[in-house]
Amino acid sequence: MGDEILIVDDDETLRQLLTHRLESAGYTVRVCEDGQAAADLLDTEYEPALAICDVMMPRLDGTRLVRMIRGGELTVRSDLPIVMLTSRGQEEHVLEGFDSGADDYVTKPFRAQELLARVRRYATA
Amino acid sequence: MHSTTHLAVTVFGVTGLFVLAYYLVVNGYYFCLHILALFELRDNVREANWDEPFRRFASPFYPGIALVVPAYNEAATIEESVQSMLSLNYPELEVVVVNDGSTDATLKKLVERFELKEIEAEVPFEVPSEEIHGTYRSTRYEELLVVDKVNGGKSDALNAGIWLTEMPLFCAVDSDTLIDRDALLQIVKPFLKRPGTTVATGGVIRVANECSVRDGLVKEVNLPKTGLPGLQVMEYLRAFYSGRLGLNRLNGLILISGAFGLFRTDVVREIGGYRHDTITEDFDIIVRLHRYLTDEGREYTVDFVPEPVAWTEVPSSRRVLGRQRRRWFRGMVETVVTNRGMLFNPSYGRVGTVIFPFFVAAEMFGPLIEGLGYIILPLAWYFGVLSIEFFIVFFLLTTGFGIFLSWFGVFSEVWSFNRYEDPRQIGRLLWYGVLENFGYRQWKTIVAWQGLLEYFRGVDSWGVMERGGFSVENHKDR
Amino acid sequence: MQGAVAVGEYSVPISVILSVLGLLVGIGLIVSLALTMGLSSYRSLKATQRSRVRSDVQSELLSRAFAPEPKWDEWAPTLSKTERSVATELLAEYLRELDGSEADSLKQLGVALGIPDEARADLERGHTFVRLQALTWLIRLDDPDPYHAASYEPTTQAERAAVARLLFQTGQLDTPAAGVELLLDGATTEFSVFGQDTLYRLAREAPDAMFALAANRYEAWSDALLAQVLLVHGQLGTGIRTADVSWLTSNLEADDEGVRAAAASALGSFGWRPELRDSRFLARATADSSPRVRGAVYEMLGSWGDQEAVTILLYALVSEEDPRALVRGTNALVRRQDQIGHSGPAILGAAWEWSSEHASYDSVARGHTRATQG
């Protein structure tokens, strides 16, 4: 039985890519198109093992979503492992990402192997 | 008696012929512009297809943009608009909402929704606008700045926003304009190509009526079901393809629509920002920019990005539309009169000698003379001065050629961005192209004359555009 | 005048003019109708074809990309024209997101689809944007060979930047300095932002070389280009170890305001240099005639950040009259407020309060502190 992973990204290509990769590695994947949909989903009974989250999204962006989760505003556990994924490679943004509470931060272009390794590490921790 | 009749008859005849000749020339101008537009379009589509191979969001050189949004009594839609603006895809964005002394709950809604707190410090610079009551920052969204001030009109509100931002570029938007998520990335392109010389770029506005909108984004592009908005879709398309795009090729006067334009903040501050006493501040500022920069001898470019990026709701009632168009006409006359020094003035280059005069001839005098034509030519025929054929020629030149230009506009759209993908939609647009020239066009000449009279009478009102939000039917005319 | 128009000696009956016009307009209408409807239907058909094949092509592509042996050469020839086109589009999107072994695998697909060969042909004959698009593909596919094989020389600044990026990325440059040279060679007018960014990335690998090159050549450049290069230096941080910075300091006293402002931002990362601490030099800088330059100088002092610099900044601000330069100064000062006692800012009044309140809201919005009384 595969662990559940939540993918939150507004880019369709990326969602499909990640879904494909993670599913072939044995995980069960759910996707959300933006931060608000993810927030709504995480406010229900759903408890994924890990969430992969893009930073720039409409309605509710990644950084704020992570803060909401860490702040305990949603039903899901506040120590949910979160890996953030983004195009913003500048140092200050990376630090900002860590500051908001993400466990790890991956910039695009990313290595799928590496992402997978991080997922494995955090999801089973 | 006989000689008076003879005189009147001659006058009729000559005027009639003049109108015909005038129309021949104006149509020639539009046709040439349209051809030029096609060349420009080819280059633009090619350029739009080229992805620059660098990671924009990781580049420290991308210019920051401030979105300046004047708001007056927008309580119904302000939250949705601002939320979608905050979600725009752009590396460095600031959203400055200027509450122009609204009498409804606009400010209150903003404070609640975005968790605003008032800044206690005074504004440390001189802002050339009506008094500012306070500035607000959000505790959740660091890119949002809200300014609350005494009512002063749209130009005044824009100036307040422009003076308070620190971003090098600003984009003036109406609060009810829907902006595509990647719009800013598109409209900033000329500034990236020529960072030192570009001072302003304009984006294309499309008609949002009937498009399905979710969370401030246009999801599905549909054609309006009823006549008047449909005609306006056709009109906007033609105006862009045979008007602005062609002028861009000549590097000429660009009418950056008030709903969507990107400017360099420092240069606009240098010319004193938007003027309060104009009716169409968007046209006015671009003309003033041209004048100022030419007078200063500075090298500059004004560019136009044809990739459709912003949507707005157009009036669906004739009354409101009439009001809007009369206002536009008044504004145009006023700006032309104020800047008449540029006409035929070689120190303003091609803009002064060719483009501005043609623009005035076609857009300002054009509808007026056409209106005259509809009266004089039949009268001339009735009195036996000119044969019926003259009238038919006139009709062919205006209506017939008009349909051709409209259809050419639709073709240009299909050839380039093809936003209306269903051939049935295109069929409908072509039909609107026909209707546009039978009735709508003639009605617009009446509106032009009314606008002119209003200008002479000194009418200055803004008019109220009834807004019902995007998910609700327009309010009934009161 | 009744039924004809007189032109010189000839009298053209109006009915003739009418018929000619009518014919012209009629033909114009028919042609544009046919072309428009035809083109729209054609494009719609193509779009439907593409969407039909897309999901199959996509899943096939993804499974092969992640498989140990993708066997692209077997798959690519089986694709129809539409499928190829969709595959190319997807390839471009995926290469934007991925790196590492999957990316390498996808690049092989590019080869199997024949993109490098097409690129070479495009470089030789195409219009400028076609060439740029070809270069973009070569950059994506990490393949410099078609560039070398084609008889092609970059002509525009944008093309030069793309070629430099290509050679840099594929390790074809002898030294990163060679790339910098390539970019700056013959460059007289300003770069596009892409060009400036490429220069930045190249310079990051060889900051000293770039610095030396610029020091030698700057006098030949236009003001706009010089300002851009200076701004690139500003971003290079403390990477530059050697050489004397006199060309930078002399640019702080150049004629053009943009150049002076850019020089100030470049000097922001050289605070550790003792020669910049000359008091007369700094006095001249903070008393520059242009408020824009003074603002940049204040930010420079703020970057230096030590006690001495901050004190100089504070004293300069006390006598600053231009409100915008003042606010830029107080913004810089706020970031270093731990270096000054609380007595300082009171003198600065409204500007200081404005800057510090805004800075505290910035922090709050980023979630660092709970909202406290501003």
Which chain A positions have a beta carbon within 8 Å of C95's beta carbon?
109
- Minimum mean pLDDT among B47-51, C24-28, C283-287, C351-355: which range? B47-51
Chains that touch A (3 or more CB pairs under 8 A): B, C
Does a structural domain hold residue A63?
Answer: yes
The answer to whether residue B181 neighbours chain A at the CB level (below 8 Å) is yes
Contact B426 C37 (CB under 8 A): yes
Are B60 and C235 contacting, i.e. CB atoms less than 8 angstroms apart? yes
pLDDT higher than threshold 90 for residue C235: no
Residue bearing the bigger pLDDT, C354 or B181: C354
Q: Do C62 and A17 touch (CB under 8 A)?
A: yes
Best of B51, B55, B142 to substitute, by most chain A Cβ atoms within 10 angstroms, is B55
Say what percent of chain C tops pLDDT 70.
91
Partner B contacted by C188 (CB < 8 A): no
Minimum mean pLDDT range among B76-80, B182-186, B376-380, C241-245:
C241-245
Interface check C365 vs B, CB under 8 A: yes
On whether the CB atoms of residues B343 and B462 are closer than 8 A, the answer is no
Is there a contact between C37 and B422 if contact means CB atoms under 8 Å apart? Answer: no
- Cβ-nearest to A109 among C62, C63, C97: C97
Q: pLDDT higher for B51 or C40? A: C40
**Residues B244-259 pLDDT 10s:** 666 666 555 555 554 5
Task: State the virtual CA torsion across B382, B383, B389, B390 in degrees, nearest 10.
Answer: -110
Among A40, A56, A85, A105, the residue to mutate for chain B (most B Cβ within 10 A): A56
User: Is the residue at A125 inside a domain?
Assistant: no
Give residue B175's pLDDT.
Answer: 79
| Lowest mean pLDDT, pick from A76-80, B215-219, B322-326, C128-132 | B215-219
pLDDT of res. C93? 86
pLDDT of residue C371: 33
Q: Is C11 on the interface with B (CB under 8 A)?
A: no
Tell me the helices (H) and strands (E) count for chain B, helix number first.
18, 12
pLDDT in the model for residue B109: 92
Does a structural domain hold residue A85?
yes
Task: List, in sequence order, every residue forming a beta bridge with B144; answer none if it has no partner.
Answer: B95
When computed from its CA atoms, the radius of gyration of chain B, rounded to whole angstroms, is 23
Task: Examine the pLDDT at C372 and tell me if it is beyond 60.
Answer: no
Contact B196 C200 (CB under 8 A): no
We report the CATH number of the domain holding residue A79 as 3.40.50.2300
Which residue of A88, A96, A110 is the best one to mutate when testing the B interface, meaning the one whose CB has the most B CBs within 10 A? A88
> Is the Cβ pair B83, A59 closer than 8 Å?
yes
In a domain, A11, yes or no: yes
Residue of C nearest to B123 (CA): C354
Q: Bridge-partner residues for B213, per DSSP?
A: B218
Report CB contact under 8 Å: B138, C361. yes
Interface test with C, best of A17, A56, A70, A110 (most C CBs within 10 A): A17
Q: What does the pLDDT average to over C29-42?
A: 93
pLDDT per residue as tens digits for the range B5-26? 778 777 777 887 788 888 888 8
Model confidence at A2, in pLDDT bands (50, 70, 90)?
Answer: low
The helix/strand/coil state of A10 is: coil
Contact: A59, B91; criterion CB under 8 Å: no
Least confident range of A110-124, C302-316, C339-353: C339-353
Which of A35-44, A107-116, C354-363 shows the lowest mean pLDDT across its residues? Answer: A107-116
**DSSP three-state, residue C254:** coil
Which of A102, A103, A31 has the alpha carbon at shortest distance from A67?
A: A102
**Residue C286, amino acid:** T
* Amino acid type, C192: S
Closest chain A residue to the Cα of C58, Cα to Cα:
A16
SS3 state of residue C15: helix
- What is the mean predicted confidence (pLDDT) over B132-138? 92
> Is the CB of B57 less than 8 angstroms away from the CB of A57?
no
Q: Which residues of A touch C (CB under 8 A)?
A: 11, 13-14, 16-17, 20-21, 24, 67, 96, 99-100, 108-114
In a domain, A94, yes or no: yes
Hey, are the CB atoms on B124 and C354 less than 8 Å from each other? yes
* B457 has a pLDDT exceeding 70: yes
Q: What is the pLDDT of residue B1?
A: 52
Which B positions 164-223 lie with beta carbon below 8 A of chain C? 191-196
Using one digit for the tens of pLDDT, what is the confidence trace for A36-77? 889 999 988 888 999 999 887 777 778 888 888 888 888 888
Min Cα distance A49 → chain B (Å) is: 28
Neighbours of chain B (3+ CB pairs under 8 A): A, C
Find the angle CA(B404)-CA(B405)-CA(B409) to the nearest 5 degrees. Answer: 115
pLDDT at B476: 26
- Whether B57 and A88 lie within 8 Å, measured CB to CB: yes
Round to whole Å and give the CA distance between B290 and B286. 6
C59, C61, C64, C66: best mutation site toward chain A, by most A Cβ within 10 Å? C66
Average pLDDT over residues C235-254: 78
Average confidence score pLDDT of chain C: 83
Q: C70 CA to chain B: closest CA distance, Å?
A: 26
Distance of residue B341 Cα from the nearest chain C Cα, in angstroms:
31
- Cα separation, C356 vs C335, in Å, equals 9
**B76-85 burial, b if ≥16 CB within 10 A, otherwise e?**
bbbbbbbbbb
Q: Which residue of B has its CA nearest to A60?
A: B87
Tokens of B233: 């879709």
Query: How many separate domains does chain A show?
Result: 1
- Which helix (H) or strand (E) covers residue B136, if one does? strand B132-138
Top-confidence residue, C240 or B406: B406
Is the residue at A23 inside a domain? yes
- According to DSSP, the residues that pair with B409 across neighbouring strands are none
C71-91: pLDDT as tens digits? 888 888 888 888 998 999 899
Average pLDDT across chain B, whole number:
81
Q: Pick the closest to residue B139 from B100, B110, B98 (CA basis).
A: B110
Residue B255 and residue B201: Cα distance in Å, rounded?
10
Query: What does the pLDDT average to over B212-228?
Result: 72
**Do the beta carbons of residue C366 and residue A93 sit within 8 Å?**
no
Residues 6+ apart with CB under 8 A from B150: B101, B130, B131, B132, B133
Model pTM greater than 0.80?
yes
A115 contacts on C by Cβ (under 8 Å): none
Q: At what angle do helices C14-66 and C100-112 cross, to 10 degrees?
A: 130
Q: For residue A59, give the chain B residue with the closest CA.
A: B87
* % of residues, chain C, pLDDT over 90: 15
C230–chain B Cβ distance below 8 A for any pair? no
Q: How confident is the model at residue B470 (pLDDT cuts 50, 70, 90)?
A: very low
What pLDDT is recorded for position B463? 42
What does the pLDDT average to over B200-228? Answer: 75
Contact B55 A61 (CB under 8 A): no
Q: How confident is the model over A5-23, as a mean pLDDT?
A: 89
Domain interval for residue A34: 4-120
User: Which of C35, C194, C357 comes nearest B411 by C-beta?
Assistant: C35
Asked if the C-beta of B84 comes within 8 angstroms of chain A's C-beta atoms, the answer is: yes
Nearest-CA residue of chain A relative to C365?
A64
The per-residue pLDDT for range B172-202, each reduced to its tens digit, is 888 778 888 888 888 898 898 888 889 988 8
| Residue A55 domain-assigned (yes or no) | yes
Q: Flag the least confident range among A110-124, B278-292, C297-311.
A: B278-292
Put simply, the answer to whether B87 touches A107 (Cβ < 8 Å) is no
As a whole number, mean pLDDT of residues B160-166 equals 93
Which residue in chain B is spatially nearest to A35 when comparing CA positions? B87
Give domain status of residue A29, yes or no. yes
For B49-85, what is each residue's pLDDT tens digit? Answer: 777 777 767 778 889 999 999 999 988 888 888 988 8
CB contact under 8 A, B385 and C32: no
Tell me the residues of chain B between 376 and 395 that have a Cβ less than 8 Å away from chain C.
384-387, 389-390, 392-393
Going by C-alpha positions, the residue among B43, B34, B33, B31 that lies closest to residue B416 is B43
Whether residue B142 lies within 8 A of chain A, CB to CB, comes out as: no
Q: How far apart are CA B420 and CA B418, in angstroms?
A: 5
Closest C-alpha to B149, from B134, B165, B127, B164 = B134
Q: Which residue has the higher pLDDT, C187 or C306?
A: C306
